[in-house]
Amino acid sequence: MNLEQLNKIANHMTAPGTGILAADESSGTIKKRFDSINVQSTETNRRNWRELLFRTEQAMKDYIGGVILFDETLRQKSDDGTPLVKLIENSDAIPGIKVDTGAKDMAAFAGEKITSGLDGLRDRMQEYYQLGARFAKWRAVIEIDDVRPSNACVIANCHALARYAAICQEAQIVPIVEPEVLMDGGHSIDRCAEVTMAALKTLFMELHTQGVKLEGIVLKPNMAISGKKCAHQAGVEEVAEKTVAVLKASVPAAVPGIAFLSGGQSDLEATAHLNAMNAGFDLPWNLTFSYGRALQAAPLAAWAGSNIAAGQAAFAHRAKMNSLASKGEWNEAMEG
Protein backbone atom coordinates (compact mmCIF):
# COMPACT_ATOMS: atom_id res chain seq x y z
CA MET A 1 0.00 0.00 0.00
CA ASN A 2 1.26 3.43 -0.99
CA LEU A 3 -0.30 5.56 1.75
CA GLU A 4 1.15 8.78 0.32
CA GLN A 5 -0.72 8.21 -2.96
CA LEU A 6 -3.96 7.29 -1.17
CA ASN A 7 -3.69 10.48 0.88
CA LYS A 8 -3.08 12.52 -2.26
CA ILE A 9 -6.27 11.16 -3.85
CA ALA A 10 -8.34 11.75 -0.72
CA ASN A 11 -7.10 15.34 -0.45
CA HIS A 12 -7.70 15.99 -4.16
CA MET A 13 -11.36 14.99 -3.90
CA THR A 14 -12.09 16.99 -0.76
CA ALA A 15 -9.96 20.11 -1.29
CA PRO A 16 -11.63 23.47 -0.54
CA GLY A 17 -13.85 24.31 -3.49
CA THR A 18 -13.92 20.71 -4.66
CA GLY A 19 -16.39 17.92 -3.95
CA ILE A 20 -17.64 14.55 -5.13
CA LEU A 21 -20.48 13.83 -7.54
CA ALA A 22 -22.43 10.75 -6.46
CA ALA A 23 -23.60 9.27 -9.77
CA ASP A 24 -23.80 5.70 -8.50
CA GLU A 25 -27.57 5.19 -8.42
CA SER A 26 -28.60 1.56 -8.72
CA SER A 27 -30.82 0.49 -11.60
CA GLY A 28 -33.88 0.69 -9.35
CA THR A 29 -33.07 4.14 -8.00
CA ILE A 30 -32.29 5.74 -11.34
CA LYS A 31 -35.53 4.30 -12.75
CA LYS A 32 -37.44 6.24 -10.09
CA ARG A 33 -35.53 9.40 -11.02
CA PHE A 34 -36.25 8.89 -14.71
CA ASP A 35 -39.90 8.10 -14.02
CA SER A 36 -40.22 11.56 -12.44
CA ILE A 37 -39.34 13.17 -15.81
CA ASN A 38 -41.14 10.57 -17.96
CA VAL A 39 -37.94 9.15 -19.44
CA GLN A 40 -37.51 5.41 -19.88
CA SER A 41 -34.62 3.90 -17.90
CA THR A 42 -32.74 2.18 -20.73
CA GLU A 43 -29.00 1.59 -20.78
CA THR A 44 -28.68 4.22 -23.53
CA ASN A 45 -30.64 6.85 -21.61
CA ARG A 46 -28.67 6.17 -18.43
CA ARG A 47 -25.44 6.54 -20.37
CA ASN A 48 -26.64 9.73 -22.07
CA TRP A 49 -27.59 11.29 -18.73
CA ARG A 50 -24.27 10.54 -17.13
CA GLU A 51 -22.31 11.57 -20.21
CA LEU A 52 -24.14 14.91 -20.06
CA LEU A 53 -22.84 15.41 -16.52
CA PHE A 54 -19.29 14.31 -17.28
CA ARG A 55 -19.09 16.59 -20.34
CA THR A 56 -20.15 19.67 -18.36
CA GLU A 57 -16.71 21.22 -18.59
CA GLN A 58 -17.10 24.08 -16.09
CA ALA A 59 -18.50 21.85 -13.34
CA MET A 60 -16.13 18.95 -13.84
CA LYS A 61 -12.92 20.95 -14.19
CA ASP A 62 -13.56 23.57 -11.53
CA TYR A 63 -15.74 21.98 -8.83
CA ILE A 64 -15.76 18.17 -9.03
CA GLY A 65 -12.78 16.20 -7.72
CA GLY A 66 -14.26 12.71 -7.90
CA VAL A 67 -17.23 10.83 -9.34
CA ILE A 68 -18.79 7.74 -7.76
CA LEU A 69 -19.98 5.35 -10.47
CA PHE A 70 -22.28 2.35 -10.66
CA ASP A 71 -20.75 -0.84 -12.10
CA GLU A 72 -22.60 -0.35 -15.41
CA THR A 73 -21.30 3.19 -15.85
CA LEU A 74 -17.69 2.23 -15.13
CA ARG A 75 -17.83 -0.02 -18.20
CA GLN A 76 -19.73 2.25 -20.60
CA LYS A 77 -18.47 4.28 -23.55
CA SER A 78 -19.84 7.52 -24.95
CA ASP A 79 -21.34 7.90 -28.43
CA ASP A 80 -17.90 8.63 -29.88
CA GLY A 81 -16.39 5.56 -28.25
CA THR A 82 -14.61 7.35 -25.38
CA PRO A 83 -14.91 5.42 -22.10
CA LEU A 84 -16.89 7.43 -19.56
CA VAL A 85 -14.03 6.88 -17.12
CA LYS A 86 -11.75 8.71 -19.55
CA LEU A 87 -14.13 11.69 -19.71
CA ILE A 88 -13.84 11.97 -15.94
CA GLU A 89 -10.06 11.63 -15.97
CA ASN A 90 -9.73 14.24 -18.72
CA SER A 91 -11.40 16.80 -16.45
CA ASP A 92 -8.86 16.08 -13.67
CA ALA A 93 -11.51 14.33 -11.57
CA ILE A 94 -11.03 10.84 -10.17
CA PRO A 95 -13.30 7.91 -11.06
CA GLY A 96 -14.66 5.80 -8.20
CA ILE A 97 -17.00 2.83 -7.82
CA LYS A 98 -19.84 1.82 -5.52
CA VAL A 99 -18.96 -1.69 -4.32
CA ASP A 100 -21.56 -2.70 -1.74
CA THR A 101 -24.49 -4.82 -2.92
CA GLY A 102 -27.19 -3.13 -0.89
CA ALA A 103 -28.75 -3.15 2.56
CA LYS A 104 -30.49 -6.39 3.59
CA ASP A 105 -32.71 -7.23 6.55
CA MET A 106 -30.59 -8.01 9.59
CA ALA A 107 -31.23 -11.43 11.11
CA ALA A 108 -32.78 -11.31 14.61
CA PHE A 109 -33.22 -7.52 14.49
CA ALA A 110 -36.52 -6.62 12.88
CA GLY A 111 -36.54 -3.28 11.07
CA GLU A 112 -32.76 -2.99 10.89
CA LYS A 113 -30.40 -3.42 7.95
CA ILE A 114 -26.92 -4.77 7.30
CA THR A 115 -25.04 -3.94 4.12
CA SER A 116 -23.80 -6.87 2.05
CA GLY A 117 -21.00 -7.23 -0.49
CA LEU A 118 -17.86 -8.44 1.28
CA ASP A 119 -17.90 -11.84 -0.41
CA GLY A 120 -15.61 -11.72 -3.44
CA LEU A 121 -14.78 -8.05 -2.87
CA ARG A 122 -11.00 -8.52 -3.03
CA ASP A 123 -11.23 -9.96 -6.54
CA ARG A 124 -13.69 -7.28 -7.65
CA MET A 125 -11.37 -4.57 -6.37
CA GLN A 126 -8.57 -5.80 -8.61
CA GLU A 127 -10.87 -5.63 -11.63
CA TYR A 128 -12.17 -2.18 -10.70
CA TYR A 129 -8.62 -0.87 -10.39
CA GLN A 130 -7.86 -2.15 -13.88
CA LEU A 131 -11.00 -0.39 -15.16
CA GLY A 132 -9.75 2.93 -13.75
CA ALA A 133 -11.37 3.26 -10.32
CA ARG A 134 -9.12 4.87 -7.73
CA PHE A 135 -11.61 5.14 -4.89
CA ALA A 136 -14.68 3.19 -3.77
CA LYS A 137 -17.83 3.70 -1.73
CA TRP A 138 -19.70 1.50 0.74
CA ARG A 139 -22.92 2.73 2.40
CA ALA A 140 -24.17 1.46 5.74
CA VAL A 141 -27.84 2.22 6.51
CA ILE A 142 -28.73 2.99 10.12
CA GLU A 143 -32.42 3.52 10.80
CA ILE A 144 -33.35 5.66 13.79
CA ASP A 145 -36.26 6.10 16.21
CA ASP A 146 -36.65 6.10 19.99
CA VAL A 147 -35.13 2.60 20.36
CA ARG A 148 -33.26 1.95 17.12
CA PRO A 149 -30.52 1.44 16.21
CA SER A 150 -29.48 -1.49 18.33
CA ASN A 151 -25.84 -1.81 19.35
CA ALA A 152 -25.71 -4.97 17.25
CA CYS A 153 -26.77 -3.08 14.12
CA VAL A 154 -24.22 -0.29 14.62
CA ILE A 155 -21.36 -2.70 15.39
CA ALA A 156 -22.17 -5.04 12.48
CA ASN A 157 -22.36 -2.22 9.96
CA CYS A 158 -19.22 -0.50 11.20
CA HIS A 159 -17.31 -3.78 11.19
CA ALA A 160 -18.33 -4.36 7.56
CA LEU A 161 -17.26 -0.81 6.66
CA ALA A 162 -13.87 -1.42 8.25
CA ARG A 163 -13.34 -4.74 6.47
CA TYR A 164 -14.29 -3.12 3.17
CA ALA A 165 -11.90 -0.21 3.84
CA ALA A 166 -9.00 -2.56 4.55
CA ILE A 167 -9.63 -4.44 1.30
CA CYS A 168 -9.73 -1.13 -0.59
CA GLN A 169 -6.42 0.08 0.75
CA GLU A 170 -4.81 -3.28 0.02
CA ALA A 171 -5.89 -2.76 -3.63
CA GLN A 172 -4.52 0.84 -3.64
CA ILE A 173 -8.05 2.25 -3.72
CA VAL A 174 -9.23 5.01 -1.35
CA PRO A 175 -12.29 3.91 0.64
CA ILE A 176 -15.16 6.28 1.20
CA VAL A 177 -16.75 5.08 4.43
CA GLU A 178 -20.42 6.03 4.69
CA PRO A 179 -22.33 5.30 7.89
CA GLU A 180 -25.66 6.95 7.08
CA VAL A 181 -28.07 7.67 9.91
CA LEU A 182 -31.28 8.17 7.95
CA MET A 183 -33.28 11.39 8.25
CA ASP A 184 -36.62 9.59 7.80
CA GLY A 185 -38.98 9.61 10.77
CA GLY A 186 -39.90 12.00 13.55
CA HIS A 187 -36.70 12.09 15.61
CA SER A 188 -35.25 15.35 16.91
CA ILE A 189 -31.90 16.79 15.89
CA ASP A 190 -30.56 15.87 19.34
CA ARG A 191 -31.51 12.22 18.81
CA CYS A 192 -29.84 12.28 15.39
CA ALA A 193 -26.68 13.80 16.90
CA GLU A 194 -26.63 11.16 19.65
CA VAL A 195 -26.93 8.24 17.23
CA THR A 196 -24.51 9.75 14.71
CA MET A 197 -21.84 10.24 17.38
CA ALA A 198 -22.25 6.65 18.62
CA ALA A 199 -21.97 5.33 15.05
CA LEU A 200 -18.86 7.38 14.27
CA LYS A 201 -17.10 6.38 17.48
CA THR A 202 -17.82 2.73 16.74
CA LEU A 203 -16.67 3.15 13.16
CA PHE A 204 -13.26 4.55 14.08
CA MET A 205 -12.73 1.85 16.68
CA GLU A 206 -13.44 -0.78 14.00
CA LEU A 207 -11.22 0.96 11.45
CA HIS A 208 -8.37 0.92 13.96
CA THR A 209 -8.93 -2.76 14.75
CA GLN A 210 -8.82 -3.67 11.05
CA GLY A 211 -5.59 -1.75 10.42
CA VAL A 212 -7.10 0.92 8.16
CA LYS A 213 -4.89 3.97 7.71
CA LEU A 214 -7.02 7.05 8.37
CA GLU A 215 -4.83 9.27 6.21
CA GLY A 216 -6.04 7.25 3.20
CA ILE A 217 -9.83 7.42 3.65
CA VAL A 218 -12.69 9.86 3.07
CA LEU A 219 -15.56 9.96 5.57
CA LYS A 220 -19.06 10.41 4.13
CA PRO A 221 -21.42 11.01 7.06
CA ASN A 222 -24.89 12.44 7.44
CA MET A 223 -25.36 15.82 9.04
CA ALA A 224 -27.04 16.10 12.44
CA ILE A 225 -30.52 17.08 11.31
CA SER A 226 -34.16 16.81 12.35
CA GLY A 227 -36.14 13.86 11.02
CA LYS A 228 -38.41 14.67 8.09
CA LYS A 229 -41.52 14.19 10.25
CA CYS A 230 -40.24 16.02 13.31
CA ALA A 231 -42.53 18.87 14.37
CA HIS A 232 -39.53 21.13 15.04
CA GLN A 233 -37.14 21.48 12.12
CA ALA A 234 -33.75 22.74 13.27
CA GLY A 235 -32.45 25.84 11.53
CA VAL A 236 -29.28 26.17 9.50
CA GLU A 237 -27.08 27.42 12.35
CA GLU A 238 -28.27 24.70 14.73
CA VAL A 239 -27.58 21.99 12.15
CA ALA A 240 -24.08 23.38 11.59
CA GLU A 241 -23.32 23.74 15.29
CA LYS A 242 -24.49 20.26 16.28
CA THR A 243 -22.93 18.53 13.28
CA VAL A 244 -19.55 20.13 13.98
CA ALA A 245 -19.81 19.21 17.66
CA VAL A 246 -20.44 15.56 16.71
CA LEU A 247 -17.49 15.52 14.31
CA LYS A 248 -15.09 17.12 16.78
CA ALA A 249 -16.04 14.57 19.43
CA SER A 250 -15.69 11.50 17.24
CA VAL A 251 -13.53 11.99 14.10
CA PRO A 252 -9.72 11.92 14.37
CA ALA A 253 -7.85 14.83 12.80
CA ALA A 254 -5.85 12.36 10.68
CA VAL A 255 -8.84 11.98 8.31
CA PRO A 256 -8.04 14.16 5.25
CA GLY A 257 -11.56 15.10 4.29
CA ILE A 258 -15.22 14.77 5.19
CA ALA A 259 -17.68 14.78 2.29
CA PHE A 260 -21.28 14.94 3.47
CA LEU A 261 -24.16 13.06 1.91
CA SER A 262 -27.29 15.13 1.30
CA GLY A 263 -29.60 12.41 2.60
CA GLY A 264 -32.88 13.75 1.24
CA GLN A 265 -32.27 17.43 1.98
CA SER A 266 -33.39 19.93 -0.63
CA ASP A 267 -30.75 21.50 -2.87
CA LEU A 268 -30.68 24.74 -0.90
CA GLU A 269 -30.72 23.06 2.51
CA ALA A 270 -27.72 20.88 1.65
CA THR A 271 -25.80 23.89 0.36
CA ALA A 272 -26.73 26.21 3.24
CA HIS A 273 -25.81 23.67 5.92
CA LEU A 274 -22.42 22.97 4.35
CA ASN A 275 -21.71 26.67 4.01
CA ALA A 276 -22.58 27.40 7.64
CA MET A 277 -20.12 24.78 8.86
CA ASN A 278 -17.28 26.10 6.74
CA ALA A 279 -18.02 29.77 7.46
CA GLY A 280 -18.47 29.49 11.20
CA PHE A 281 -15.94 27.03 12.60
CA ASP A 282 -12.22 26.30 12.71
CA LEU A 283 -11.90 22.67 11.64
CA PRO A 284 -9.06 20.13 11.34
CA TRP A 285 -10.52 18.58 8.16
CA ASN A 286 -11.72 19.81 4.80
CA LEU A 287 -15.55 19.71 4.82
CA THR A 288 -17.19 19.33 1.43
CA PHE A 289 -20.00 17.58 -0.44
CA SER A 290 -20.61 14.15 -1.89
CA TYR A 291 -24.12 14.80 -3.15
CA GLY A 292 -26.36 12.82 -5.46
CA ARG A 293 -29.85 14.28 -5.55
CA ALA A 294 -28.70 17.70 -4.31
CA LEU A 295 -26.46 18.00 -7.40
CA GLN A 296 -28.62 16.13 -9.92
CA ALA A 297 -32.28 16.92 -9.23
CA ALA A 298 -32.27 20.35 -10.90
CA PRO A 299 -30.25 19.31 -13.98
CA LEU A 300 -32.32 16.13 -14.37
CA ALA A 301 -35.52 18.17 -14.51
CA ALA A 302 -33.93 20.68 -16.91
CA TRP A 303 -32.64 17.91 -19.21
CA ALA A 304 -35.97 16.02 -19.28
CA GLY A 305 -34.45 13.49 -21.64
CA SER A 306 -33.35 15.80 -24.45
CA ASN A 307 -32.34 19.35 -23.43
CA ILE A 308 -28.60 18.87 -22.96
CA ALA A 309 -27.70 22.56 -22.71
CA ALA A 310 -30.28 23.25 -19.98
CA GLY A 311 -29.21 20.17 -18.03
CA GLN A 312 -25.55 21.14 -18.18
CA ALA A 313 -26.26 24.74 -17.16
CA ALA A 314 -28.24 23.56 -14.13
CA PHE A 315 -25.51 21.09 -13.14
CA ALA A 316 -22.78 23.73 -13.47
CA HIS A 317 -24.80 26.07 -11.26
CA ARG A 318 -25.41 23.55 -8.47
CA ALA A 319 -21.78 22.42 -8.56
CA LYS A 320 -20.60 26.04 -8.28
CA MET A 321 -22.96 26.79 -5.38
CA ASN A 322 -21.70 23.79 -3.42
CA SER A 323 -18.10 24.62 -4.28
CA LEU A 324 -18.62 28.05 -2.72
CA ALA A 325 -20.28 26.42 0.31
CA SER A 326 -17.25 24.18 0.79
CA LYS A 327 -15.24 27.36 1.32
CA GLY A 328 -17.87 29.18 3.42
CA GLU A 329 -18.41 31.72 0.63
CA TRP A 330 -22.00 30.98 -0.43
CA ASN A 331 -25.13 33.01 0.25
CA GLU A 332 -28.69 32.51 -0.93
CA ALA A 333 -28.64 35.64 -3.12
CA MET A 334 -26.19 33.80 -5.41
CA GLU A 335 -28.92 31.33 -6.35
CA GLY A 336 -30.54 33.92 -8.60
Domain that residue 178 falls in: 3-335
pLDDT above 90 for 328: yes
Written as one letter, the residue type at 139 is R
- For residue 119, the model assigns a pLDDT of 97
- Distance between CA 64 and CA 12 in Å, rounded? 10
- 178 annotated active-site: yes
Is the pLDDT at 230 greater than 90? The verdict is yes
Range 324-334 average pLDDT: 98
Q: How many CB atoms lie within 10 A of CB 325?
A: 27
233-291 pLDDT, tens digit per residue, is 999 999 999 999 999 999 999 999 999 999 999 999 999 999 999 999 999 999 999 99
User: In CATH, what number is assigned to the domain containing residue 272?
Assistant: 3.20.20.70
Question: What tens digit of pLDDT does each residue of 61-96 get?
Answer: 999 999 999 999 999 999 899 999 999 999 999 999
Q: What is the pLDDT of residues 4-34, one digit of tens each?
A: 999 999 999 999 999 999 999 999 999 999 9
Beta strand spans in the chain (E): 19-23, 64-69, 94-98, 103-105, 113-115, 135-142, 174-181, 218-219, 257-260, 286-291
Q: Treating both helix axes as pointing N-terminal to C-terminal, what angle do 308-325 and 267-280 enclose, rounded to 10 degrees?
A: 30
Q: What is the pTM of this model?
A: 0.97
pLDDT of residue 306: 96
**Rg of the chain taking only CA atoms, in angstroms:** 19
Catalytic residue among 98, 113, 137, 220: 220
Q: How many domains does the chain have?
A: 1
Q: Which of 178, 206, 241, 269 is flagged as catalytic?
A: 178
pLDDT tens-place string over residues 130-162: 999 999 999 999 999 999 999 999 999 999 999
Average pLDDT over residues 111-125: 97
In this prediction, residue 336 has a pLDDT band, given cuts at 50, 70 and 90, of confident
